[in-house]
Amino acid sequence: MKKGITKVLAAVMTAALLVCGSIPAMAAEAEEVTISFGYWGDSGEDKAYADAIKGIESVLPGVTVELVKYPSTNEFWANLPGQVAAGTAPDFIAPTNEGHMSYIVEGLFLPLNDYIDKYGFDLSDTLPNALEAWTYQDQIYAIPTTAAPGIFVVNKDMWDAAGLGELPTTWDEVYEAAKVLTTDDVAGICIDFSQGYHPTQYTNSFGGGWSNGETINSPENVAALEYILKMYEEGLAVNPKDLGLSWDGEVFAAGKCAMTTAGAWYVGLMSESAPDINYEVMAVPGGNGHQGSSMHATGFAVLSTSKNPEVAAQVANYMASVSAQMNMSTRAGYIPALESLQDWYYDINPKMAPSRASTEFAVSFGYPVQSTEFQTDLVRAFEEVYYAGADTTAQEILNTLAEKYSN
Amino acid sequence: MPRKKRLNFDRESHIAAALFLAPALICIAIWFIYPLVQSVYISFFDFNYLFKDRAVFVGFENYANMFLDSEFYKGLSHSILFMLIVVPIQTFLALLLATLVNQKIKGRGFFRAAYYMPYVLSAVAVATVFMYFFVKDQGVAKFLSFFGFKNTTWFADMNLAMPFIGILYIWQMLGFYMIYYLSGLQTIPGEIYEASQIDGANKIQTFFFITIPSLRHSTFLVVTYGIIQSFQIFDQIAVVTNSSGGPGSPAGATTTLLTYFYISSFKLYKMGYGSAVAIVLFLIILIVSIVQRRLVKMED
Amino acid sequence: MKIFKKTLIYALMIALALVFLVPLGYAVITSLVPFEYVNKIPPLEVLSLRNYIKIFEQYPIMDWFKNSIIVAVFTLAGNLVTSLLAGYALAKFKFRGREAVFNLILVQLMIPFQVLLTPLYIMVAGLGWHSTNIGLIVPFLVSGLSIFMARQFYKTIPDELIEAARVDGLGYIRSFFHISLPLSGPLVVTLAILDFTSCWNAYLVPSTFLAKNTAFTLPVGLATIKAANFIRPNETMAGVLILSLPVIIVFLILQRQFIEGIATSGLKG
């Protein structure tokens, strides 16, 4: 009861302050609106988002932003349907472009073009491929805030100890190197096949890609998957699961593999968990004379269930500002999605600099619309071969998937 | 007179039962039956809570489809095998531990706490340690390889992944059943033991002829609940396979009916289908429980 | 011979205890080292309480703690009342529909709880109870398992004892409060230990019902302790220990109530 009174008092006082504070001009149209922003993350992100909403009342009078924190990605997506049904879903959220397509196609994420035009959101500085990752049929479905291309890391100590010379630039060179680098304790390469992320680095760099389900069994993708299966067959590759570890970064930091496809998060991970390991970051090697990797882009997406989508979009735009993206980058290690911040990011993260070119050619994951199911099936098909000993070929695996997921 | 009194008692006992059961039953009606009815209802639809208005009535199609999916049968066979192996072992071990820590010995509190510990610690902590020891060439995996087991990473092996889950599960649940048995042991009157000692029975005879029969009410719960729970194993599988292929990994070796349900409902958003799976799972548990009660009459 | 046997049993029990305590030991050591020493044998000088301090500094852990205490205490209290009454009725009262009610309790245990999660959430949110402690308490004031345990316990109390009370002129209800309730010590202790543990450690429901940093319970909040894109096992394990310590303390206090042969005097009296 006491709490209730306090709350009412606080609300009255805030309202009074707001009204008094914004008397000139805007006061007339100022309407009390609370916009909820749903996210999940660590304490760095808590603080970055708390900073990002500061000062919003001067730009959007009468608008209060409520930070709604979910325990984790899994919990958020597992319970989102319940929240939508109960009317408790947040107004906008910060998803990545890995499972977004089904929500876009089924209409859960709102197209933002009208608001972008109406309020003149300036997205001209946003990296084109980050924006592309959130564009579907000429409509933009989120304001990108991070843009991390897939990268490749090499344990330089192991590399030099094996006398291998220049770092690899093609998958053929990686294969030859892996043969030298593999020992009883160390795998030449870690290929984390627990989700779609890493296989997609291979398909994209072989010149293929999933193209939202259109090209699942393209020759380039088949070549990429054949390469992965060959690495496993010849005992040159390790899946984190084989070592009781949950992802590639742990394998690399434990010194159990000499190379792996990776992401920007390796910088933080390695400096904290394996400061002694001397490693190099580079662009994902090329295959078949191509080069490619994925663009991992978080964005602010407005849910179609929002009662104030227009205001939510404006809040999202406010929270994607230059200073907010810089703040997020410093606090949680993300790469900003703004062109103008790239120099800044690579200056303060010199370790990442050699991979910078990836930003040019990285493209979105391009999973089919049923992206979760597709990734589950892809992982399962791999496990059937590697763990259960099925003699399915790469071509057969991708043919089956193509049949199920081509539109 | 006696007849009338009996009638009175009957009415009285009905009133007493109604009063005693009312709080529980009201809560169950609101918080169990109501949501359950909803879940049963959506099992006849192609249903997703995200888009409730797009639900399509499909009759028994969800149920029929299940029986066409080989993954369902895989889950079913894993669930049943798991139950058959886990329940007897955990019942026996729990009784053994409870008996050990019920003795008058020094440091009894410490031993009880120690044996209860895995149940207290979160599944994450326990699984992390377990996984560490069951990796190829590590502690337990290496040790067991001298006894004819494959020296391999257990949870990444088609044949050993489920046994690994079983060991982890028993380990974690033992504390729970031990405590329950311990409370059962408290209700055995001391005179019975004294009498049997006078009759010249040794400790093992006493255990089999006095303790076990006296614990039949406890055992009924340990076995009944043990069966129900073993069908619903999920946490351990989720932790072990989390971010390494998901429940069921590798290649369906750890698929159970519940992981199958979970993936359908919460990952793929096929909630109508998921509900149908859950209801079939319930029916299977129900049948197994009925069979168990018919086969072994544990209670009078 | 007797000493030999006793030593053997002791040795067995100590060996078992060590095996059971391995995960705890692992958690303790990991929680004291910097990230780079995880899964390595750490030199003594790197051990510190830094991970704990960091958790307390960076997260609203006292809020989480408070929420957990409130939820666990009220849920446990509610459970004790409902399950003692219902369990006793199912064990000792003769009434029509007794089997049906007992079967309903069993059915409640047999339904995989996850299938009720979303409908439950919608109900709770409809009452405005999402992200509150009430939403975690009210729907869980009754537990089928607790009722089942209570029923099994009361079944062990001899009918003659209750009959005798009735001869003395006590009705059904009063005989429960005068005869059976005073004998319920081991049951109450068991329920207190088991219900408290499971409520304290509960993750699925709170992680579904709560979406606010300060509304989290301990297990949910502690699960959010990680870096943006990876987990720091040392901080995770510190979290595990922060979470487990209260349960261990509650257990150590309550387990003293389990004394060999307590029932003897109780039944006689």
Kindly tell me if the per-residue pLDDT of A11 is higher than 60. no
pLDDT of residue B10: 76
Q: Does C39 lie at the interface with A, CB-CB under 8 angstroms? A: yes
Q: Which chain A residue is nearest to residue B246, measuring alpha carbons?
A: A194
| Tally of domains in chain B | 2
CATH number for the domain formed by residue range(s) C49-268:
1.10.3720.10
Residues, chain A:
407
Query: What SS3 state is found at C224?
Result: coil
| CATH code where residue A266 lies | 3.40.190.10
Query: For helices C114-126 and B271-295, what crossing angle results, to 10°?
Result: 120
Report d(CA A236, CA A375) in Å as an integer: 24
Q: Which residue has the tokens 């709490």?
A: A3
Pick the closest to residue B223 from B255, B283, B180, B186 (CA basis). Answer: B180
User: If pLDDT is split at 50, 70 and 90, which confidence band does A376 have?
Assistant: very high
* Interface touch A244/B249, C-beta < 8 Å: no
Q: Does residue B102 share a domain with residue B139?
A: yes
Report d(CA A179, CA A182) in Å as an integer: 6
Question: pLDDT: is A261 or B122 the higher one?
Answer: A261
Which residues, 6 or more positions from B257, have their beta carbon under 8 angstroms from its beta carbon? B72, B75, B76, B79, B231, B277, B280, B281, B284
Q: Has residue A361 been placed in a domain?
A: no
Could you tell me if A231 and A191 are in contact, meaning their C-beta atoms sit under 8 angstroms apart? yes
Q: Has residue B77 been placed in a domain?
A: yes
pLDDT digits (tens, 9 = 90+) for B153-167: 999 999 999 999 999
User: If pLDDT is split at 50, 70 and 90, which confidence band does B106 have?
Assistant: confident
Q: What is the mean pLDDT of residues B14-24?
A: 94
φ, ψ dihedrals at C184, nearest 5°: -85, 5
Lowest mean pLDDT among B218-232, B235-249, C172-186: B235-249
Domain coordinates in residue numbering, chain C: 1-46, 49-268
| Tally of domains in chain A | 2
Of B48, B246, B263, nearest to A81 by CB-CB distance is B48
Kind plus residue range of the DSSP H or E element containing B233: none
SS3 of B25-54: HHHHHHHHHHHHHHHHHHCCEECCHHHHHH
Query: Which positions 18-47 of B are in contact with A (Cβ < 8 Å)?
Result: none
Q: Does residue A159 share a domain with residue A58?
A: no
| CATH code where residue B285 lies | 1.10.3720.10
Q: Look up residue C101 and give its amino acid.
A: V
Of B35, B111, B114, nearest to C119 by CB-CB distance is B35
Q: Which residues of B touch C111 (CB under 8 A)?
A: 32, 36, 278, 282
Lowest mean pLDDT among A10-19, B53-62, B245-254: A10-19
Residue from A79, A80, A151, A303 to probe the interface with C (highest C Cβ count within 10 Å):
A79
Q: Has residue B55 been placed in a domain?
A: no
Could you tell me if B163 and B144 are in contact, meaning their C-beta atoms sit under 8 angstroms apart? no
Which conformational region is residue C28 in: left (phi greater than 0), alpha (psi within -120 to 50 degrees), or beta? alpha
Report d(CA A143, CA C235) in Å as an integer: 33
Lowest mean pLDDT among A9-13, A362-366, C93-97, C155-159: A9-13
Kindly tell me if the per-residue pLDDT of A23 is higher than 60. no
Q: Has residue B259 been placed in a domain?
A: yes
Q: Cα dihedral angle (A279, A282, A288, A293), rounded to 10 degrees?
A: 120
Write out the two tokens for A382.
């791999």
Q: Does residue A334 share a domain with residue A314?
A: yes
Angle C250-C255-C257 from CA coordinates, rounded to 5°: 120
φ, ψ dihedrals at C96, nearest 5°: -70, 140
Of B52, B131, B156, nearest to A387 by CB-CB distance is B156
Q: Has residue B275 been placed in a domain?
A: yes
**Closest approach of A251 to chain C, Cα-based (Å):** 12
pLDDT of residue C129: 97
pLDDT of residue A17: 42
Of A84, A370, A383, nearest to B250 by CB-CB distance is A383
pLDDT digits (tens, 9 = 90+) for B114-132: 999 999 888 877 888 888 8
Q: Does residue A317 share a domain with residue A282?
A: no
User: If pLDDT is split at 50, 70 and 90, which confidence band does B192 have?
Assistant: confident
φ, ψ dihedrals at A279, nearest 5°: -135, 160
Cis ω before A275 (30° cut-off from 0): no
| pLDDT > 70: percent of chain C | 96
Report d(CA A263, CA A151) in Å as an integer: 5
Q: Has residue A82 been placed in a domain?
A: yes
Report how far Cα A191 is from the mean position of its chain's Cα atoms.
Answer: 18
Kindly tell me if the per-residue pLDDT of B80 is higher than 50. yes
C-alpha gyration radius of chain B: 24
Residue from C152, C195, C234, C240 to probe the interface with B (highest B Cβ count within 10 Å):
C152
Q: Does residue A130 share a domain with residue A86?
A: yes
**Closest approach of B109 to chain C, Cα-based (Å):** 7
Could you tell me if A52 and A69 are in contact, meaning their C-beta atoms sit under 8 angstroms apart? no
pLDDT of residue A9: 46
Report d(CA A105, CA B122) in Å as an integer: 39
User: If pLDDT is split at 50, 70 and 90, which confidence band does A137 have?
Assistant: very high
* Interface touch B23/C82, C-beta < 8 Å: yes
pLDDT digits (tens, 9 = 90+) for B252-270: 999 999 999 999 999 999 9
* Interface touch A68/C38, C-beta < 8 Å: no
Report d(CA A221, CA A215) in Å as an integer: 8
pLDDT of residue A337: 97
Could you tell me if B155 and B161 are in contact, meaning their C-beta atoms sit under 8 angstroms apart? yes
User: If pLDDT is split at 50, 70 and 90, which confidence band does B9 have?
Assistant: low
Q: Which residues of A touch C211 (CB under 8 A)?
A: 38, 68-70, 83, 88, 90
Q: Has residue A357 been placed in a domain?
A: no
Residue from B19, B105, B117 to probe the interface with C (highest C Cβ count within 10 Å):
B117
pLDDT digits (tens, 9 = 90+) for A207-258: 999 999 999 999 999 999 999 999 999 999 999 999 988 899 999 999 999 9
Lowest mean pLDDT among A97-106, B29-38, B238-247: B238-247
Question: pLDDT: is B194 or A266 the higher one?
Answer: A266
Kindly tell me if the per-residue pLDDT of C13 is higher than 70. yes
Q: Tell me, what DSSP letter sits at residue A298?
A: -
Strands A148-149 and A257-262 come out as unpaired
Q: Does C58 lie at the interface with A, CB-CB under 8 angstroms? A: yes
Q: Has residue B50 been placed in a domain?
A: no
Q: Does residue A153 share a domain with residue A194?
A: yes
Q: Has residue A21 been placed in a domain?
A: no
Q: Does C208 lie at the interface with A, CB-CB under 8 angstroms? A: yes
DSSP letters along B54-98, please? G-EE-TTHHHHHHTT-HHHHHHHHHHHHHHHHHHHHHHHHHHHHH
User: If pLDDT is split at 50, 70 and 90, which confidence band does C1 have?
Assistant: low
Q: Does residue A325 share a domain with residue A381?
A: no
* Interface touch B13/C107, C-beta < 8 Å: no
Give residue B30's domain range: 2-42
